[in-house]
């Protein structure tokens, strides 16, 4: 693998805490994790060790990059099973989780997920549109064949 450096130090990935109905979702999470590690980008994510979150975090960690999981204390018993990967920062609420993840990230990527993923994605897009942040937001399909750059700092509105 070619060692590539990105202008982004940390990317926040939104994705499901379940594995999804298609194996391609799992493959996309692993592929994204490997790509982040190859580009020397650290991960900020929702903190679960299960589902797509667990797969992307393990791939980034296995690639030698720092992993920061931000998770509400109330979700820890169900979302963290087995070995913890990287650093886990426990917070008191989902609001604090999203704020901390946004504060720590230079950009956002959304993989397949459920309503939580959608809500997190829409919040960062809305905040970008309102000028609260100027960080890129990318939506990736499960096959990486379709990606949609939803917002970039170079534009004044979402594309």
> Residue 152: what pLDDT?
60
Q: How many CA atoms lie within 13 A of 143 on its CB side?
A: 2
In whole angstroms, give the CA distance from residue 52 to residue 157: 30
pLDDT at 66 over 70: yes
Per-residue pLDDT band for 1 (boundaries 50, 70, 90) equals very low
pLDDT at 71 over 50: yes
Return left, alpha or beta for 27; rule: phi > 0 is left, psi -120 to 50 is alpha, else beta: alpha
Per residue, the 3-state secondary structure of 94-150, as one string, reads HHHHHHHHHHHCCEEEECCCCHHHHHHHHHHHHHHHCCCCCCCEEEECCCCCCEEEE
> Of 123-127, 128-132, 148-152, where does mean pLDDT reach its minimum?
148-152
> What does the pLDDT look like over 84-128, one tens digit per residue?
889 999 999 999 999 999 999 999 999 988 999 999 999 999 998
In whole angstroms, give the CA distance from residue 34 to residue 55: 10
> Residue 80: what pLDDT?
81
Query: Per-residue pLDDT averaged across 12-34, rounded?
Result: 92
> Residue 153: what pLDDT?
60
Query: Per-residue pLDDT averaged across 127-141, rounded?
Result: 89
Listed residue (88, 85, 87) closest to 63, CA to CA: 85
pLDDT at 67 over 70: yes
Task: Please state, for a pLDDT cut of 90, what percent of the chain lies above it.
Answer: 66
Instruction: Please give the residue that has the higher pLDDT: either 67 or 130.
Output: 67
Tokens of 146: 């379709």
In whole angstroms, give the CA distance from residue 150 to residue 52: 21
């Amino acid at each position: 693998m070619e060692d590539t450096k990105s202008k982004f130090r940390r990317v926040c990935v939104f994705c499901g805490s379940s594995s999804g109905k298609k194996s391609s979702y799992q493959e996309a999470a692993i592929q994204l994790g490997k790509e982040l590690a190859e580009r020397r980008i650290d991960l900020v994510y929702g903190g679960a060790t299960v589902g797509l979150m667990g797969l992307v975090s393990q791939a980034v960690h296995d690639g030698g990059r720092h992993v920061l999981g931000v998770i509400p204390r109330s979700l820890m018993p169900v979302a963290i099973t087995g070995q913890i990967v990287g650093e886990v920062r426990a917070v008191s609420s989902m609001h604090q989780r999203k704020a901390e993840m946004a504060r720590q990230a230079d950009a956002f990527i959304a993989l397949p997920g459920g309503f939580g993923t959608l809500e997190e994605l829409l919040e960062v897009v809305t905040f970008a549109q309102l000028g609260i942040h100027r960080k890129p937001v990318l939506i990736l399909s499960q096959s990486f064949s379709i990606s949609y750059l939803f917002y970039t700092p170079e534009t004044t509105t979402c594309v």
